Amino acid sequence: MANSTSTPSFSTLLQRFFVEHLGHQRAVSPRTIAAYRDTFRLFLSFAEVRIGKAPTELALVDLDAGLILSFLDHLEKDRNNGARSRNARLAALRSFLKYSAHYDLTALPVIEQALAIPMKRFERPVLGFLSRHEMQAILEAPDPRTWAGQRDRALFSLMYNTGARVSEVIGLRVGDVVVDGTMAAHLRGKGRKQRSVPLWRSTTSLIRGWKHRLENATDDRFLFPSRSGERMARSNVTQRLALAVSAAAEQHPQLARRSISPHTIRHTTAMHLLQAGVDITVIALWLGHESPATTHVYLDADLSMKERTLDHLQPIGARPGRYRPPDQLMRFLQSL
């Protein structure tokens, strides 16, 4: 149990939080550490102006709910941050406070109040995904007679098969994708988490053919390299997908009017698995979601789509009903 003589300072706690907790105990990705670092740089600068204390002079009890709420308000009004950015900054602060609660019991009342600050709700955009025919047209668009076309076919097919993020698929090495025996792709996701996703025979066939075409296809070489043999950039994948969509739009003109990114393929994978009857917890594992709750956004999107379809349908033999205005109480409830 902590006491007055052993309670570490705020400065010490923050350094331990980054080095020991995030870096060693949780082994989070460098990207997460950078995001948390930027949050505290902004917060400490704000606190210095707000309460007149330099970062090294701050105490944990200074991080009360009032200061944090003022900081969040500053992010939205002065820095024009949206709800997502605001929530991400709050998540970083909450993570530190939860960690610090174990080491400074005197600050528990302040920490509890700060942890009670809720995330801000925001309207989530309707997920964009492709129909099976549209997805198939895009997969078949790259010219298999060319080096880049054969690579793109294998790349997009693997993305659709696995629902991989762009960062995961461009980081794949030749040895990460097994096409003999147990056919699977071994992906490294967010927070250095690893998962293995089974491959369809069609995907396996394309990957096997692509491996044969790669020069010096040793296990440690990038599976989908650029022309120079280096790792593909995110922008490169986006450009190649845009070319495939443009070619597919000749047969499916509606594709030209849509905004399609590599992440659209990930959404498409999830929705097609859901529509095929795959359990939501399995889809969460498939996509590498830390919690199945994250995957429920696809379930909500699927239900919304079905409700819109239902609105246009009437049971066979049903007669259109007469419109009846709602009574005052119902009108009140609808206005809320």
pLDDT of 306 over the 70 cut: no
User: How far apart are alpha carbons 168 and 189 in whole angstroms?
Assistant: 6
Instruction: Tell me the per-residue pLDDT of 188-242, one tens digit each, with 9 for 90 and over.
Output: 877 667 889 999 999 999 999 999 999 877 999 999 999 998 999 999 999 999 9
Structural domains of the chain sorted by starting position, each given as residue range(s) with its CATH number in brackets? 10-115 (1.10.150), 132-311 (1.10.443.10)
Amino acid 291: pLDDT: 61
For residue 1, name the pLDDT band (cuts at 50, 70, 90): very low
Q: What share of the chain has pLDDT > 90, as a percent?
A: 62
Q: Which residues are catalytic?
A: 165, 190, 263, 266, 289, 298
The pLDDT of residue 321 is: 54
pTM over 0.75: no
Q: What is the pLDDT of residues 239-266, one digit of tens each?
A: 999 999 999 999 999 999 999 999 999 9
pLDDT of residue 4: 45
Dihedral sign computed on CA atoms, order 166, 167, 168, 173: positive
CA-CA distance, 203 to 156, in Å (whole number)? 9
**Which structure tokens are listed for 141?**
């668009």
Give the pLDDT confidence of 146-165 residue by residue, as tens digits. 999 999 999 999 999 999 99
pLDDT of residue 30: 85
For residues 132-144, give the mean pLDDT.
Answer: 96
In 3D, which of 140, 135, 197, 133 has the Cα closest to residue 168? Answer: 197
Query: Rounded to whole angstroms, how far apart are CA atoms 228 and 232?
Result: 9
